[in-house]
Amino acid sequence: MNNNCTRFAPSPTGYLHLGHAASALIAANWAKANSADFVLRIEDIDQTRCRPEFETAIYDDLHWLGLNWQQPVRRQSEHLLDYQLALSELQKQGLLYRCFLTRREVMAEINQAPHGIIDVYSGPSKHLSATQEAELLEQEKPFAWRLSLSKAKEVLGKLWHDLEWLETGSGQSGLIKAEPEVLGDVILARKDISTSYHLSVTHDDALQNITHIIRGNDLFESTHTHVLLQVLLGLPTPIYHHHALITDEQGKRLAKRDGAKSLRELRENGISAEQVRDMVRL
C-alpha cells in the first residue's frame, strides 16, 4: 500500500501564472510517478484578498493543464475552528504572546535589535506588564498572536537542536537543520484573521497526511518555522522538495505585481497547455 501524498495549495488572490503551473505540475507528476495521491487545497483564509472568481479560475486553469486531483478540495476558510484549536494548544503550552504593535512599530523594534537582523522580529525588547496588557485589551486595541521562540526553546530543551527536515529540492538538499530564527517570532493569528499562513498550512499538511511537500523555493525559509510548529503540535514532519523558481528573460522571479502573464492570458494568446508544460519544465 502506498500512502504517499502531495499537494498543490494556491491562494485565490489572483490568476495562476507560470510559477504556479510549475509547482502544480511538478507535484502532480511526482504523484503519478510514485503512485501517490495528489490533493488540491485552497488557501483562502484572507477573505479580504481572495475572490470566488479566482478560485473558479484555479480549477479551470489546472484542468486545462491536464491535472486532476482527489476530492473533496479542502478550503481553509471553512475550517477556521480547526486552526483556533491548534492555536489554543500552543497557547496552553505558554508559547504565544499578544503583539499590539503596528507594522511601523515592529520595524522600529527590528531596527533597534542589537544583532542588526534587518527584517525579522525576534520578540519584544520589553514585555508588557499584566496591567498594561489589560488596559490595551480594555481599549479593544487589536493584537496578533506571535510565537515566542524563546519560550519554544525552553519548552523543547535539547530537542530544539534536533529540529530538521529532509530536503530533496534543487538547491540545498539532504538533512537540513531547522533554524526558526530565520523568520523570528512569526504571527500565528493575525489581527484581522484568527489564523495565519504558517499555522493553517502546518495544520492542514498534517491533517491531510501530506508526506511530500513540493513547492517553490520562495517558501524554503518558512520551512524552518513549519518544522518547529510540527514538533510543538506533535505533528509529523513531511519530506520537502523546494523547486527552483521560474524566472523571466532577465532572470527575475515572476511575480503578479510585475505583470507576470497569467495562464489564462497565455491561453488567450494562443499558447497551448503543452507549451506551458514545456515552459515550466525545471
Q: Which positions touch ligand GLU (CB under 6 A)?
A: 9-11, 43, 201, 215, 219
Q: What is the DSSP string of 81-121?
A: HHHHHHHHHHHHTT-EEEE---HHHHHHHHHH-TT--SS-B
Work out how close the CB of 8 gets to ligand GLU at its nearest, in angstroms, rounded to a whole number: 7
- For residue 166, give every residue at least 6 positions away whose Cβ sits within 8 Å of its Cβ, in sequence order, or none: 174, 175, 176, 239, 240
State which residue, 11 or 148, has the beta carbon closest to ligand GLU: 11
Work out how close the CB of 23 gets to ligand GLU at its nearest, in angstroms, rounded to a whole number: 7
Q: What distance in Å separates the CA atoms of residue 33 and residue 9, rounded to the nearest whole number?
A: 20
The helix (H) or strand (E) run that includes residue 187 is: strand 187-189
State which residue, 215 or 241, has the beta carbon closest to ligand GLU: 215
Dmax over CA atoms of the chain, in Å, equals 64
Work out how close the CB of 226 gets to ligand GLU at its nearest, in angstroms, rounded to a whole number: 8
State which residue, 43 or 61, has the beta carbon closest to ligand GLU: 43
Work out how close the CB of 219 gets to ligand GLU at its nearest, in angstroms, rounded to a whole number: 5
CA 274 → CA 22, 92, 172, distances in Å?
13, 51, 30
Q: What distance in Å separates the CA atoms of residue 33 and residue 21, rounded to the nearest whole number?
A: 18
Work out how close the CB of 138 gets to ligand GLU at its nearest, in angstroms, rounded to a whole number: 36
State which residue, 184 or 238, has the beta carbon closest to ligand GLU: 238
State which residue, 148 or 202, has the beta carbon closest to ligand GLU: 202
Q: Which three cell numbers stand for residue 10?
A: 494556491
